[in-house]
Structure 1
Amino acid sequence: MAQEYIVVLLVLGAFILAGVLSFWLTPHVSEFAHKVGAMDVPRDSRRMHKKPIPRMGGLAIFMGFMAALMIFGRLDAQMLSILLGAMIIVVLGIFDDIVALGAKFKFCIQIIAAAIPVCIGGLKIEFFTSFNPFSSDPYFSLGVLSIPVTIIWIVGITNAVNLIDGLDGLAAGVSSIAAMTMLAVGLLTNEVMVAITMAALAGSCIGFLPYNFNPAKIFMGDTGSTFLGFMLATMSIEGFFKFYAVISFAVPFLILGLPIFDTASAITRRLMEGRSPMSPDRGHVHHKLVDMGFNVKQAVAILYAISGTLGLTAVILTTSGEAKAMILILAVILVMAVGGRILWSLQKSAHGRKEQEDHEKH
């Protein structure tokens, strides 16, 4: 019992310290962003703000997180390799927020950063749930594919969180919900280091949010969004892909369900239109909600609710049997499909009304 109290105190300490430091550091980071020219100037329809706003707020999130982890965490060789990769991601984000680096260059550096914990720290997705009905094994080994699969997962989630950073408070809020979910699952499965790390990450996000809620005073920029994605991706491997059961597949995908869905739909949409999957557009889920008539705060609240529901589902999976887990997963998929159909219909109706109004004007 004493050990459990110690874990709870460590988790609370990491959460509070990261939150306080992030909140205190954000105004200073904002001043620094002004000095170095890291400003987000609205130049196209994808931008929801009307005047230049400093970015690079993710630097405050990173510093609050690191301080809390250094004091309350336990840094073994694998964790150090993860943090080294995260530092590369943050440095890359700082330069990108100042001078806007090319997508291919950023992608290459992200692969290098992801390869550090995989190749040096031994962080790998080695086993995966088997969905083969003709096999008696509940899982299969990835073998030599474990390295590329793990790197793809890390780089993919890193960019997925970056892609949803399109509305005030969205990426920070969704990331904090995902981190809190991983914290809860980590405690339930006795993954203490995962819980402490996610407490520090959630705290640093929540400390930043008061400055990032609509109307935002500062953006986290690529410095923050890619760092959050990198940490969520690596810690999901550290904590959950090691289970040789259905939750090894379901839990991380549910926790990160919103950014994964948004990224998958964006890539599919762009490829079907004959464009590069890296080309920007105004077709993300948050854009669709705003185009349907929701204001920024309402759209963010809807996406918070979706992320929270998926996170709660992930927590339930860790405390239920596999049969219940599969039923719950199917129910969530069904609800998301119905919800997606409703949103698509609403968007189509709104688009039709807009075309009719434009026609009447002319």
Structure 2
Amino acid sequence: MSTLLLIFAAALVMAAGGTPVARRLALRLGVIDQPNARKIHLDPIPLLGGLAIYAAVIGALVLFGARAEVNQLAAILIGASWISFFGFWDDHQGLGAGTKLLAQAGAALILIVGGVMVRLPLPAWVNWAITLFWVVGITNAFNLLDNMDGLSGGLGAVAAAFFLLLAAISGQYLVGGLAAALLGACLGFLIYNFNPARIFMGDTGSLFLGFLMAALGIKMRFPSNVPWVTWMIPLLVLGVPIFDTTLVFFSRLRRGKNPLTTPGKDHVSHRLVQRGWTRREAVLLLYLTGCALGAIAIFVAVADRLAAYTVGVIVAATALAGLVELEQRYTNDERRSISEGESRPI
């Protein structure tokens, strides 16, 4: 436990100290997120906060991380470095969606080769496919979630905190060390990223964060529970990013738009603001939702199979109802806006 505290503290200090340095670097290189019609910020904001998160996580683990499961830890950090490189490239010069997807698939393959993969009682190729889908999906979920001050970093901190608690309960040091480093790095970065943000993490940070969350979800194991229950735990811990990405994906498909390349203010956070919430209130509500789902994940981790699946069905049904309700309201608002535009005199 003392080692985990050291990792957490080191990452927190490094991120808090490194983020202003990353901000100055972004200003010097001209890596700035300019406001436009599809974004909600009104002033140019430096990117590259993700460099501070990356350096804090890697630095804390190198300084204080144990050498247990070193091969798998190496695979995770190599994959994370790979995806962060492409994130930096995208922040600095811009990358196409196809290139980013290939980079994410490459990072997933690094995990598989390193032995970090889903291990359900299924044929090997099915587990490989699920691993690829999971890594690409969660990496993109955090990338898409980075749409409001403090949202991706804050939900990353919430998820890391619950992964850390779950690792402490089950004695999983690799998961605990990674989660402690991520928690410290996210909190250190949030000092500068919470509303009003002075720096954004950019793709350098959001892809790195999403990839490590995916790896933590894969590594989470509960020997006292069966695999068909264990798989629900990372889905719950990462429930808010998964819900948001699912909503945006199907909403854009329904409107005949490409969900991967079409920008828009159609995320859960945007929809809450459109319903009258302030940006801070919307972000804090999503933090609380993440905490509630994390608490449910802890219950599922120690519950018997029947109780776990009962709770899982209730959560899934609630999420489905929420998807339908949010999409219906969004559609009604769009129709009302179009109707008011057509009826306005020229």
Query: By the TM > 0.5 criterion, same fold?
Result: yes
Aligned pair 1:299/2:285, yes or no?
no
Aligned pair 1:325/2:317, yes or no?
no
Distance 1:349 1:108, change over 3 A: closer
| Separation (CA, whole Å) in 2 of partners of 1:306 and 1:95 | 33
Q: What displacement does 1:212 show?
A: 0.4
Aligned mate of 1:248, from 211, 225, 230: 230
Deviation digits for residues 151-179 of structure 1 (CA, Å, limit 9, x no counterpart): 22111110111011100000001111111
Runs of 5+ unmatched residues, structure 2: none
Aligned pair 1:157/2:150, yes or no?
no
Aligned pair 1:28/2:10, yes or no?
no
Q: What displacement does 1:338 show?
A: 4.8
Residue of structure 1 equivalent to 2:53: 61
**How many residues are aligned here?**
341
Maintained 8 Å contact 1:292/1:350 = no
State the TM-score, normalizing by the size of structure 1. Answer: 0.88
Q: What displacement does 1:349 show?
A: 6.8
| Separation (CA, whole Å) in 1 of partners of 2:118 and 2:129 | 10
Identical pairs, percent: 36
| Separation (CA, whole Å) in 2 of partners of 1:272 and 1:354 | 18
Aligned mate of 1:314, from 287, 297, 319: 297
Residue of structure 1 equivalent to 2:216: 235
| Separation (CA, whole Å) in 2 of partners of 1:165 and 1:107 | 17
Q: What displacement does 1:325 show?
A: 1.1
Aligned pair 1:266/2:248, yes or no?
yes
Q: What displacement does 1:271 show?
A: 2.4
| Separation (CA, whole Å) in 2 of partners of 1:229 and 1:102 | 19
Deviation digits for residues 134-166 of structure 1 (CA, Å, limit 9, x no counterpart): xxxxxx323222222212211111011101110
Maintained 8 Å contact 2:164/2:180 = yes
Distance 1:112 1:350, change over 3 A: closer
Runs of 5+ unmatched residues, structure 1: 1-7, 128-139
| Separation (CA, whole Å) in 2 of partners of 1:186 and 1:160 | 23
| Separation (CA, whole Å) in 1 of partners of 2:122 and 2:222 | 12
Distance 1:327 1:28, change over 3 A: same
Residue of structure 2 equivalent to 1:51: 43
Within 5 Å, give how 1:157-196 maps onto structure 2. 157-196=138-177
| Separation (CA, whole Å) in 1 of partners of 2:100 and 2:222 | 27
| Separation (CA, whole Å) in 2 of partners of 1:86 and 1:79 | 10
> Which secondary structure does the structure 1 equivalent of 2:75 belong to?
helix
Q: What displacement does 1:305 show?
A: 1.2
Distance 1:54 1:261, change over 3 A: same
RMSD of aligned residue pairs (Cα, Å):
2.1
Q: Which amino acid aligns with 1:325?
A: A
Maintained 8 Å contact 1:291/1:347 = no
| Separation (CA, whole Å) in 2 of partners of 1:263 and 1:339 | 13
| Separation (CA, whole Å) in 2 of partners of 1:49 and 1:39 | 12
Q: Which amino acid aligns with 1:41?
A: Q
| Separation (CA, whole Å) in 2 of partners of 1:259 and 1:22 | 23
Structure 1: 4+ residue segments shifted above 6 A: none
| Separation (CA, whole Å) in 2 of partners of 1:66 and 1:352 | 48
Q: What displacement does 1:335 show?
A: 3.7
State the TM-score, normalizing by the size of structure 2. Answer: 0.92
